[in-house]
Structure formats: C-alpha cells, structure tokens
Amino acid sequence: MSTPSLLPEFGPRLIGIARLAADGESLRQGHEVEYFTLPARSLLNRCTGVRMPFTWTINPYRGCEFACKYCYARYTHEFMEMRNGHDFEQKIYVKQHAADLLRQELRHVKAGEEIAIGTATDPYQPAERRYEVTRTILQVMARHKGLHLGLITKSNLILRDIDLLQEIGQNGRLSVTLTITTLDVELARLLEPRAPRPDLRMETVRKLNEAGVRAGVSCAPVLPGITDSPRDQEALVRAVAKAGGNYIFANPLFLKPCSAAVFFPFLEEKFPHLTEAYRKRYQDRAFLPKAYSQRLSQVIARLRQKYGILNSRDQNAGRSQSVHVAEAQLSLF
C-alpha cells in the first residue's frame, strides 16, 4: 500500500530523487522509525569531493537509524526535500534492485579505482537485518576479481557476511573500518543512541582480522572537550592494537548546518558548559582551524608508533616518526 506523500500537497513540483522518495511505499514501522522503498536509478556514485580518497561510493540505504548526534550526512535527505534533520534517522529508504543495478554499473569501474560503501549511511544499520541490501551488493562483488573496496560501519552485524568479505579480499583489495569515537559506553549511548556498543565494535575488529579480513578503526569525529583528551585517545589506540587492528585514523568534528541543527540542542542539554565555545568556533565555518587537526594528527601518530600500529592505509606507512605531544586536552576552548 502506498504511503501518503511525506511532503505538502501544494508546493514546487518534485523531480529526481525527491519524486522517487515521495512515491516510495511504506514497508513497516518500528520505534519511531519508518521504512520506505526507493526505486533507485543508479547505485554507483562517482565521488567528486576533493577530501575523499576514493573514486566511487555506494550507500545501500538513505538515512540511518543509529541517530548519531554529530552525523554529517543528514544533508542527504535535503535532496528529497526533507529539511527536518531528524527525518534522516526516522525515515529510512531501502534502495530497490541494488544487485541488478550494480551488475550493470561495475563495468564503469576502472582498475585501481576504490569503491567505498557506507559514506552517507551505515550499510549495517538495523534495516539490513531484514532487507539485506548490503549482502546482495557483496554477493555481486564477490563474483568479480580485482576490485578495491572499502567498507565503513558502526555495526557488528557485518560479521554475518564474513564469508563474502573473505572472498572479496582474496579476489581483490578490501579494508573494513569500524567507527569508534569513544570506549566509554555511557558516553557512546549519548552520542550514538542506537548504534552497537563500542566494545562490540572493537570485538568485531578482532574477529574480522582473525578471519583474514583486514580491519581497522576510524575515530571520527573527535569532539573537542568531550572525546579529545590524550588519555581517551590513548585508551582507544591501545584497544585497537590489542584487537589486532591494522590501522586507526582520527578526524575532528565538522558541522554542516543540517547537522548543527541537531547537534547544538543536544550539546545544550548534555554539555551546556561547552555550548558557547562550540558556537563561537563553528559560527561561520563547518571545520575547525587547521591547527587543531594538526595537533590531533600528531597525537594519533605518536600513539600508533607507541603501540606498533603500522597504519598501512596511510601513504607514509612505516616511516619513522618522532613526535612530542604534551599530555593535555586538545581543546581550543
């Protein structure tokens, strides 16, 4: 049964992805989340962002149920004329015929070009248990040789697909990245309300590497004054090393307007003492000054060296580094 339009009856004529979304059929509802079909016209998206180290992206879903307070990808729902930032976590679109589309489009991928899965939505969010769009995508990729694939997630559900990941890794190049912003379970529950616990994610890193699937950790975003103390960063790097992680990297928080609309009310409620400083730093920009990023990179580089993580994702992997960083909060505030 078709769902009523999510948009006003009167207004601009919808085109493209907005029209497809408005015509989507309701699949089911659960704890304030609705699921809709999305008859996608394409699955592979060519990446044009200069900050991105890959050529193609695949996002099996639109929206993400994990509801991370800092999520930068909320803007993607704006393409469907949805301006409420919470729509991103409450209205999840399931792409239809993903495997068929991928079979047709893989011919456009040239040798050496990397495909990233999960850049704007988590491919293993709860919807995947039911709809298995990500698994059908991996099944197609497992039949091809020479693919360069990167996959990023916060979910231990990825362990379900170890068989396919092993096959893809044997036939090409594969890296699986688990996002872990903090080891503090209570803090993680505030920041990432519906994502699996950080200890479950770290255990996933261990199990993937034990199964021969190359896996590491993204500590992104790092939140100034909340998760950026060298003590917290060291605990995370040490845990990655213990889990046999191949790499760890970190990037500071950046806030698009759609993300700020959700993040700042959260900050005012849970970390009111930081609100003014955050507003000042992000008032006219989405990114923190370069000096903060550089200091964060120095901290992580020193800790990787200390705990013997080669960080083979980096082009400078294996280069001797000697970096002195004061044991103090990185905060610019």
Four-point Cα dihedral 284, 289, 290, 293, nearest 10: -110
How high is the pLDDT of residue 22? 42
CA distance 166 to 182: 28
How high is the pLDDT of residue 82? 77
Written as tens digits, the pLDDT of the chain (333 aa) is: 334 334 333 344 444 444 444 444 555 555 689 999 998 899 999 987 656 678 999 999 999 999 999 999 988 867 677 777 789 999 999 999 999 999 999 999 999 999 999 999 999 999 999 999 999 999 999 999 999 999 999 999 999 999 999 999 999 999 999 999 999 999 999 999 999 999 999 999 999 999 999 999 999 999 999 999 999 999 999 999 999 999 999 999 999 998 999 999 999 999 999 999 999 999 989 999 999 999 999 999 999 999 999 876 543 333 333 333 334 456 555
Domains, the chain = 40-59+95-307 (3.80.30.30)
Extended strands (E) in the chain: 26-30, 33-38, 45-46, 56-58, 61-62, 91-95, 114-117, 148-153, 173-179, 215-222, 248-252
Beta-bridge mates of residue 279: none
How high is the pLDDT of residue 311? 78
Residue 111: CB atoms within 10 Å = 7
Which residues does 326 contact at the CB level (< 8 Å), separation at least 6? none
CA distance 290 to 174: 30
Which residues does 178 contact at the CB level (< 8 Å), separation at least 6? 152, 153, 154, 201, 202, 204, 205, 215, 216, 217, 218
Q: What is the DSSP letter of 181?
A: S
Contact at 8 Å (CB) between 201 and 245? Answer: no
How high is the pLDDT of residue 329? 57
How high is the pLDDT of residue 271? 98
Question: Would you say the C-alpha torsion 61, 168, 119, 196 has a positive or negative sign?
Answer: positive
Q: What is the DSSP letter of 159?
A: G
How high is the pLDDT of residue 47? 86
